[in-house]
Amino acid sequence: MSTSPAAGLLARQLKQMQTDKDIPGISCGLADNNIFEWEVMLMINDECKFYGGGFFRARLSFPSEYPHLPPKMKFETPIFHPNIYPSGEVCISILHPPEEDKYGYESVSERWSPVQSPETILLSVISMLSGPNDESPANVEAARLWREDPKEFRRRCRKNVRESLGDE
């Protein structure tokens, strides 16, 4: 039985992420023994003022057309953030298909390209946690609090951190 080019690439990328010690705070493995479904754990360092100290579980779901099309990423641990839908699905430019943005908000260069990898996705998501884009929010309430009530926004984020540690 032959494997698809996408499966072979994902197997190599997973192995690299599991053996690369230069990527602190990220742990990846297969979900249901399926190379197209990855379980991810992001252990956020204390430099991230909103989610520092949290352990957030997520899932990367890769299409069979990978790397030509992006995966989807969904947090399984609740996380309150302007760029994460209440369902947990992540909304970040590099996970949008490589096509013209019909709303003219993103340039093609900001969107998915085959040079991206699971590592660059996860590093971008960690960066997004520290610096949300509130101009095009997936979670309108989170974006509103981020702008108008930073103290309440931080309180909600810290609650997510405690929940991620099983303290709630």
Q: Which residues are catalytic?
A: 91
CB contact at 8 A, 10 and 66: yes
Residue in the block written with tokens 């890769």: 62
Residue given tokens 């969904």 in the structure block: 74
Contacts of 60 (CB under 8 A, 6+ apart): 28, 37, 38, 40, 71, 72, 73, 118, 121
Q: How many helices (H) and strands (E) does the chain have?
A: 4, 4
Query: Which residues on adjacent β-strands are paired with residue 28?
Result: 40
- With beta carbons less than 8 A apart as the criterion, state whether 29 and 39 touch: yes
Cα dihedral 141, 37, 16, 125 in deg (nearest 10): -10
